[in-house]
Structure 1
Amino acid sequence: MPNISRRTFIGGGTALSGLGLLSACGRGDASPTLVKPTDDIVGAVEKKRPSTGRERKFSLSAVESDLDIGGRSVRTWSLGDALPGEELRLTAGDTLNATLDNRLPEATSIHWHGLAVRNDMDGVPHVTQAAVPAGEQFTYRFTADTPGTYWFHPHVGTQLDRGLYAPLIVDDPREPLSYDEEWVVMLDDWLDGIDTTPDKVLAQARKGMGHDEGHGGGEGGSGPMRMGPMLMGASSDLLGGDAGDVFYPMHLVNGRPANDPHTFSAKPGTRLRIRLINAGGDTAYRVALGGHRMTITHTDGFPVEHREVDAVLLGMGERYDVLVTVKDGVFPLVALAEGKSATALALLRSGSGEAPGPDVRPDSLDGEIVNATDLVADASVRLDDRDPDVRHTIKLTGGMADYDWAINGRAFDRDAPTKNAFEIRQGQRVRVAFTNSTDMWHPLHLHGHTFQVGPDGPRKDTLIVLPGQSLECDFDSANPGRWLVHCHNVYHGEVGMMGLFAYTA
């Protein structure tokens, strides 16, 4: 087995960039100068990834299901009969071999969120693969070469806002953290099968907030006002104003609502690692563990200089790893649906005591909270100091009135995905300016790469960009192909807030 370290994984791009392009591109392609997911260079880079030589096989079934969520039977789609789906776990350098059996009534796919996989395994229809038709199978196979907290979900329509997701944990063979136990926590906002479906919500949203006929009366009193499946007045100072568009009847921790919380048991004094994942469609969560402070160790799978806080804020698609030393008693892990006057709940039990009720709100939710931009990348993963070879500006545009979310004023064209692509070349240092010209926050997600925020900020693949904010981020182009960049609000992305980074030959 090769000698593998975290620096080996992160630095791999430098060696890969010298491969050059191994095949002519564009056979049958409208953009002949762009690398395609099937080109030889994609496979050549994959072969250069550090590998343990082990292959881990998994079977995934996407099915129609009836799930019990807090005592309520909900008809939805899920991976098997569990919510979330079963966790996949492997060690960095292992090859993942996962066969998706699509038993749904329509096509689907899997996107491996946060992992720099080979381009033809990224799971984006119209860009990297055809969606897997109903009744058929597809095997995803790639080397997972970077340790961290990841997850997977479909990239077809609004399917993300159903139950088709699960955690993917890539263990570090030389784990630098010292802890006794681990708790993987997936947060989700839920509406599917409760008076509506994600597709119906999208259809309503497309009308824009100036067209509310048929919504009925508003609900919510002094808080956000519900207009059918939509929200008005959901506001958050942390998010710079408008917090979200969509009303969710339930908010979940590991598939369970606040009236039926999941309980994690540990002994007092246990050093606990909590891996937090926001799998929501339209909700940011502010998370705190009552009676405890948390030490942030990672964001989006990459280590940061440790920072002790009272709570963390996760946009859709973001992940944070935190350490806590468990006290004696029963403590609420509360995920506040930012701006939406609702919470998700789980319990940590380390001793005797009465469990808090579903409306508990620990003081730490209003304590010290840092933004990702306040964190500093650990030295082991920090990009070397280098001037950018190419610069691109991604301006977030649109608004709620016409629900015309887009990038640089253009809605993404799935029939011509390379049109208006941001072109880059293998081996470049790419600088991207994310500029938010809208009145709402957006969690921007880049496929196939991680970027560094500012000169020494964290390495991330998903980043909250606040209204009026502009953030410069750098990444090294070491993973050839065509890679989506988009808002991870599923409804914003679906109407057009997507773009494409495309490698040139």
Structure 2
Amino acid sequence: MSLSMKSATRGSNLPLIPRRKFLTGSAALIGAAQFPMPAWAKGKSLTHAGRGFGTLSGEDIRLSIGNSHFTTGGRSGHAVTVNGTVPGPLVRLREGQNVRLHVTNTLDEDSSIHWHGLLLPFQFDGVPGVSFPGIRPGKTFLYEFPIRQNGTYWWHSHSGLQEQMGHYGPLVIDAAEPDPRYGRDYVVLLSEFSSLHPHSIMRKLKVSEGYFNYQMQTATHGDMPGAMRRMWGGMRMNPRDISDVTGATYTYLVNGHGPADNLEYLFTPGERVRLRIINGSAMTFFNVRIPGVPMTVIQADGQDVHDVEVDELQIGTAETYDVIVTPPAGAHALVAEAMDRSGMGAATLTSEAGARAQFPALREPVTLTMADMGMADMAGMDHTASTPGAVDHAAMGHAMPPAPAAKPMPGMDHSGGGMNHSMRDPSNLPPDVEVGAGVDMIAPMPVDRMDYPGLGLDKVDHRTLRYTDLRARKADHGVKSPTRQMQIHLTGNMERYMWSFDGKKFSAVADDPIRFAYNERVRVKLVNDTMMAHPIHLHGHFFELVNGAGHGEQPRKHTVIVQPGSTATFDLTADEPGDWAFHCHLLYHMHSGMFQVVTVRPLGGDA
């Protein structure tokens, strides 16, 4: 089977691309690719990128990728922009239309655009080496496909680390039938900017995974008894290791604006406003709140859910949530606090132009617990439980199964020497998980934490969103039950900054894909053996979270957060044929190997 680039720009009834032909060119997805020195690095004068974005709509849309210079607050550096702005333009489409997106690459290196969350022929998904070859310098690629859905999504580069430098933007698809529940809507696109080039960030993480963490606990930290400090020290782990890249180098942005820019969202008192919250960051989970103003969640990842009223929600990298608010007159702080509490994005929701809200101070840093190490049964002996961010399972509304009285803990040294820092006990792993240099921890007792609101939000005194709150607004009781199950481990070596699935770093040439038969229904269990939360994204599909919802009422998502030392399960109907990327959406984790290809083929079809 073959597919020319000419045919790849037309229609949707296209033959499938043989995997190995295109995967041989995809090693640049993961490795530190070697490019010729780009023009910006040679001292060439660059135009200054604009903050924020314009709006593009219609049947034919033109986008141009280029180099720019970007400044926010006290930070300034190189940016990769689309149509000259950070973020790039809002692409606003309508359900049922056809769209032709002409994307021109003016960089000195290959580029791409992935349409995050869209259902489309896989040849237009925009992942170099998986679904197309990429866009060469000076070339234009035509993406053409029908719009089969509505909701809030976004787009971004899938080439190298360009996404970190500003190559991303929002995408909104208006429903065929207008929604009468709100009077106006705004995009709230959360991201970050660093004056450091992303390859420099990557190098620093490889040298020291805690390079950007200025909130490490000291040996004499008053909130942690000596025994617990020795336990963490013996594992060479730090309970403040929440985010790899932090406010030490990041300025957190809302629609391209830093906190000092005083971005405003205007409203009329009594008006219901829809906020389309998109986490378009490279590495940051955000806790979003508008103090004093409740938020009603109406969509998750562009899919309708039953209304859930909350005061704060955590949004993982690559997720989207749509909320409706009815703020009273005045100026209200819209706060997007980084999960590790090293900084925040900020904007003002106001009924009076020029008014600036009073913003809250950053809260105390988050501290990991035994549950985040996959040892929930030992949570009762975790003396850090009184610190911010600790897990109180009773408050979470569920009971953990008690540990058997004489059961030894995997990885525990009961001779008094503390805990084996590697915590490697492969006896409970499937045989295809490789336990080598790339794996420095195996969660001994991971449990489902769908009802956990996210690191740092389990002890707050107001309402927070949990996956268990989500129910599909349009139930499909005819959906079939899964016919098979599979388990995938999220693995890593934090000290060496190596990330993987099942202990295997992605290799474009050698790897065998995750295989699904077309239209089969599979239950997939993700087991997080690491102490970091991972937002796992599947291209080209929606899956249903196994979150306690009734049959046919499970919420549909394209990205799921798997909490540290925990599991998350979803049901997938593999009804989109082709080759699709499946990866952690933390950019440097994907770049380091936590990436795989999912291939969907008819039974007996060409693999």
Give the TM-score normalised by the residue count of structure 1.
0.80
Aligned to 1:437: 529
Q: Establish whether residue 500 from structure 1 lines up as the match of residue 597 from structure 2.
A: yes
Q: Which amino acid aligns with 1:206?
A: K
Aligned to 2:31: none
> How far is 1:427 from its partner?
1.4
Aligned to 1:478: 575
Alpha-carbon distance in structure 1 between the residues aligned to 2:120 and 2:16: 22
Q: Is the 8 A contact 2:22 2:133 kept in 1?
A: no
Q: 1:465 aligns with which of 546, 549, 562?
A: 562
Q: Is the 8 A contact 1:390 1:424 kept in 2?
A: no
Alpha-carbon distance in structure 1 between the residues aligned to 2:303 and 2:497: 34
Q: 1:378 aligns with which of 457, 473, 482?
A: 473
Aligned to 2:392: none
Aligned to 1:132: 135
Q: Establish whether residue 243 from structure 1 lines up as the match of residue 242 from structure 2.
A: yes
Residues 326-383 of structure 1, C-alpha deviations (whole Å, 9 max, x = no match): 2100111000011132111000111489523565569x98421122243112134x46
Q: Which amino acid aligns with 1:323?
A: I
Q: Establish whether residue 150 from structure 1 lines up as the match of residue 245 from structure 2.
A: no
Q: Is the 8 A contact 1:62 1:101 kept in 2?
A: yes
Alpha-carbon distance in structure 1 between the residues aligned to 2:477 and 2:93: 26
Q: Is the 8 A contact 1:286 1:337 kept in 2?
A: yes
- Unmatched 5+ residue regions in structure 1? 1-20, 32-53, 224-232, 234-239
Alpha-carbon distance in structure 2 between the residues aligned to 1:388 and 1:396: 22
> How far is 1:503 from its partner?
1.7
Aligned to 1:67: 70
Q: Establish whether residue 260 from structure 1 lines up as the match of residue 352 from structure 2.
A: no
Q: 2:181 aligns with which of 178, 181, 188?
A: 178
Q: Is the 8 A contact 2:499 2:590 kept in 1?
A: yes
Alpha-carbon distance in structure 2 between the residues aligned to 1:30 and 1:118: 16
Q: Percent identity?
A: 33
Q: Is the 8 A contact 1:241 1:439 kept in 2?
A: no
Q: Establish whether residue 453 from structure 1 lines up as the match of residue 545 from structure 2.
A: yes
Query: Which one is further off, 315-324 or 74-83?
Result: 74-83
Q: 2:463 aligns with which of 360, 368, 373?
A: 368
SS where residue 77 of structure 2 aligns? strand
Aligned to 2:9: none
Alpha-carbon distance in structure 1 between the residues aligned to 2:174 and 2:342: 36
Residues 103-155 of structure 1, C-alpha deviations (whole Å, 9 max, x = no match): 11211100000111110001111111112111111111111211110000010
- Unmatched 5+ residue regions in structure 2? 1-12, 24-56, 219-231, 233-238, 364-455
Aligned to 1:344: 345
Q: Which amino acid aligns with 1:125?
A: P
Alpha-carbon distance in structure 2 between the residues aligned to 1:472 and 1:359: 36
Q: Which amino acid aligns with 2:499?
A: W
Alpha-carbon distance in structure 1 between the residues aligned to 2:201 and 2:522: 36
> How far is 1:391 from its partner?
2.4
Q: 1:96 aligns with which of 99, 104, 108?
A: 99
> How far is 1:67 from its partner?
2.7
Residues 250-304 of structure 1, C-alpha deviations (whole Å, 9 max, x = no match): 0011111111121011110011000000011111000011320000000000011
Q: Which amino acid aligns with 2:150?
A: P
Q: 1:404 aligns with which of 489, 498, 504?
A: 498
Q: Aligned pair in 2 of structure 1 residues 96, 277: CA closer, same or farther (>3 Å)?
A: same
1:270-281 aligned within 5 A: 270-281=271-282
Which has more radius of gyration?
2
Q: Which amino acid aligns with 1:355?
A: R
Residues 28-71 of structure 1, C-alpha deviations (whole Å, 9 max, x = no match): 8599xxxxxxxxxxxxxxxxxxxxxx971111111111234247
Q: Is the 8 A contact 2:308 2:469 kept in 1?
A: no
Aligned to 1:5: none
Q: Is the 8 A contact 1:388 1:429 kept in 2?
A: yes
SS where residue 203 of structure 2 aligns? helix
Residues 5-43 of structure 1, C-alpha deviations (whole Å, 9 max, x = no match): xxxxxxxxxxxxxxxx99797598599xxxxxxxxxxxx
Q: Aligned pair in 2 of structure 1 residues 60, 29: CA closer, same or farther (>3 Å)?
A: closer
Aligned to 2:162: 159
Q: Establish whether residue 306 from structure 1 lines up as the match of residue 307 from structure 2.
A: yes
C-alpha RMSD over aligned residues: 2.8
SS where residue 205 of structure 1 aligns? helix
SS where residue 398 of structure 1 aligns? strand
> How far is 1:75 from its partner?
2.6
> How far is 1:387 from its partner?
2.1
Query: How many residues are matched?
Result: 437
Residues 444-490 of structure 1, C-alpha deviations (whole Å, 9 max, x = no match): 00100000001633210011100122122112111100111110000
Alpha-carbon distance in structure 1 between the residues aligned to 2:291 and 2:20: 58
Aligned to 1:8: none
Give the TM-score normalised by the residue count of structure 2.
0.67
